[in-house]
């Protein structure tokens, strides 16, 4: 199954949905809503899915926002704000998908590209990956929740180094800082990530996968007492269903 939409392709391999940012050679993000939210909702609404991988075509994940495009958009402040808002909605949507989402990263992962990777649950990268937020050097800041997501994934020092100083992190540094979870030597990060996900969810009923991931998403985005309440409710539903059969 292959679809095209806004420079992104989608296919499903062994129940793992794979979203590929496809704007070679560097997969520049042409607009904040790099794939239409409605389109992504449709693709990820496939109830047979058990996990999702987001990756970049070719050698790199993404070098970030297309600056020419940004310059054009910035001529109309209202349009820029609206585009950024849609980008935020997209990344928030990704962060709330009730399936495990893995960013499979190789090569360059900068700026908006890194923001996209950070909106995923898990990041797996190749040894040659490099990470950075170059925005401060351009007189701007990450505009798609990068600061918040970087802090959640790592720590204050890393945030200062990357966001203020614009420092480049290689794969080993990124692993140490908590930005990525696995660094692999294989070239095929995408294939590795698909296999990793398949193993992770192997033999689990779909409703269990979705409940667990939803609970963890809630822990991330909702106030604690609401997240706890919903976790308990989902447990009850599963328990009654499971022990009734």
Site residues (vs other proteins, CB under 8 A): 100, 121-123, 151-158, 176-179, 181, 200-201, 204-205, 208-209, 211-213, 215-216, 218-220, 224-225, 227-229, 231-236, 238-240, 242-244
Are the CB atoms for 133 and 143 separated by under 8 Å? no
Q: How far is CA 71 from the centre of its chain?
A: 25
- 115 catalytic? Reply is yes
CA distance 39 to 17: 13
- 135 catalytic? Reply is yes
Are the CB atoms for 63 and 36 separated by under 8 Å? no
Selecting among 26, 33, 83, 135, the annotated active-site residue is: 135
> What's the closest the beta carbon of residue 190 comes to other proteins, in angstroms?
18
> What's the closest the beta carbon of residue 174 comes to other proteins, in angstroms?
10
Helix (H, G, I), strand (E, B) or coil at 55: strand
CA distance 99 to 83: 26
CA distance 70 to 119: 21
What is the rounded end-to-end Cα distance, in angstroms, of the chain?
35
Phi–psi pair at 118, nearest 5 degrees: -70, -20
Q: How many helices (H) and strands (E) does the chain have?
A: 10, 10
> What's the closest the beta carbon of residue 210 comes to other proteins, in angstroms?
10
* Minimum CB distance to other proteins smaller for 2 or for 157: 157
* Minimum CB distance to other proteins smaller for 3 or for 235: 235
> What's the closest the beta carbon of residue 22 comes to other proteins, in angstroms?
25
Selecting among 115, 167, 195, 226, the annotated active-site residue is: 115
CA distance 149 to 146: 5
* Minimum CB distance to other proteins smaller for 57 or for 124: 124
* Minimum CB distance to other proteins smaller for 76 or for 226: 226
Q: Which residues are catalytic?
A: 115, 135
């Amino acid at each position: 199954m292959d679809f095209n939409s806004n420079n992104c392709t989608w296919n499903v391999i062994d129940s793992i949905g794979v979203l590929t940012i496809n704007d070679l050679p560097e997969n520049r993000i042409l607009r904040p809503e790099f794939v239409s939210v409605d389109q992504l909702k449709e693709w990820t609404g496939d109830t047979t899915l058990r996990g999702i991988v987001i990756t970049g075509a070719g050698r790199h994940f993404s070098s970030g926002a297309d600056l020419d495009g940004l310059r054009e958009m910035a001529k109309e402040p209202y349009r820029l704000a609206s585009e950024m808002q849609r980008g935020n909605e997209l990344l928030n949507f990704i962060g709330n998908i009730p399936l495990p989402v893995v960013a499979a990263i190789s090569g360059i992962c900068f700026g908006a590209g890194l923001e996209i990777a950070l909106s995923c649950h898990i990041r797996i990268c190749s040894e040659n990956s490099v990470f950075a937020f170059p925005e401060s050097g351009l007189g701007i800041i990450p505009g798609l929740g990068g600061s918040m997501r970087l802090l959640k994934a790592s720590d204050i020092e890393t945030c200062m180094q990357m966001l203020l100083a614009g420092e480049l992190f290689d794969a080993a540094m990124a692993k140490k800082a908590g930005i990525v979870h696995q660094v692999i030597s294989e070239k095929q990060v995408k294939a590795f990530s698909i296999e990793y996900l398949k193993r992770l969810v192997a033999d689990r009923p779909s409703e269990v996968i979705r409940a667990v991931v939803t609970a963890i998403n809630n822990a991330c985005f909702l106030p604690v007492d609401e997240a706890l309440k919903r976790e308990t409710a989902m447990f009850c539903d599963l328990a009654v269903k499971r022990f009734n059969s």
